[in-house]
Amino acid sequence: MGIILAILIFSFIVFFHELGHFLLAKFNGVDVNEFAIGMGPAIYSREYKGTKYAIRIFPIGGFCAMGEDDEATDSPNNFNNKSVWARISVIAAGPVFNFILAFIFSVILTAMVGYDKPEVSGVDEGYPAAEAGIQAGDTIVKMGGKRVYLFREISIYNQFHQGEEVEITYRHNGDEKTVTLSPKEDKELGYQRLGISSSGYTKANLLTALQYGVYVERYWINTTIESLKMLVTGKVGLDQLSGPVGIVDVVDDSYKESRSYGLFAVLAQLLYIAILVSANLGVMNLLPLPALDGGRLVFLFVEAVRRKRVPPEKEGYVHLVGIACLMILMVFVMYNDIRRVFF
């Protein structure tokens, strides 16, 4: 059951991404050759107003074919005959829709389980927070110069910056104070920490669910960006990357662990994972790499500045190389996933 749920989650998120491209293409009057759910041979298709709508056999995402990689035709509705800003909006719509979906899921999850305000419920003696004067009831306002809205942001910052000093601004009795702390090794847990505890989750109403839904999505976007930084700087190895097989395994494990607690717990876990995957897909697709939406946007912005399109054949070669590199990376990631899951 967990595997089926993982496939459905991943497929819906990719489908929603492609739906963004499709809707903005239609809005801008772009000819859409095909809008498909799934990949592989079509098991059902129907043509309507010049667009083929298809359901394909493998439920792993979908695609929106607009002829963006082809030469411009005589049709005024051809993708490449539209203004550069219209094309930019169509390409950017995919990642933007991923962020919209992540926000919707974040609001729903926050309404279900509440939100973790960055309030301190307790401090551990002998750790930097207590020595700096932070007390139970204080609120962490900033960490590393960045505003903090959720307690989990404190935890993830500490994970990403192990062994580094951190400047913390906290509110005590209405007054803001700033201190610099050096995390201390917790020999029992095996990592460095500041020695503060969360006050738990606060029940959300409609307005706070919307407000903290933004903060939850922001948290996952920032987490994805920080993870990419660690990958680029070598703090995280390629062998720690995970792909579709890894996602299926995580969803399956989460389902098995939460199902004994009832439907509510299962839904909360699935929403949690869906937010992570959707925000991650949005960020990854905006990277300025060939074959990704971000890479296509680079060429379009160059065209907007030069007021002249990059020759399609040259752009095509670049994207072809990008696709080849992505395929190699996907094979490597899938190998890692299979090795971790089955061996």
As annotated, the active-site residues are: 18
Count CB-CB contacts under 10 A for residue 86.
17
SS3 64: strand
Question: Are 270 and 9 a contacting pair, CB within 8 Å?
Answer: yes
Residue ranges of alpha helices (H) inside 145-205 are 151-160
The set of residues, in sequence order, having a beta carbon less than 8 Å from that of 10 and lying 6+ positions away, is 60, 61, 244, 247, 248, 277
Question: Are 144 and 159 a contacting pair, CB within 8 Å?
Answer: no
Element (H, E) at 175: strand 175-181
39-62 core/surface letters (b: 16 or more CB in 10 A; e: else): eeeeeeeeeeeebebbebeebebb
Element (H, E) at 134: none
| Side chain identity, residue 24 | L
Question: Are 82 and 67 a contacting pair, CB within 8 Å?
Answer: no
Give the Cα separation of 49 and 78 in Å (integer): 15
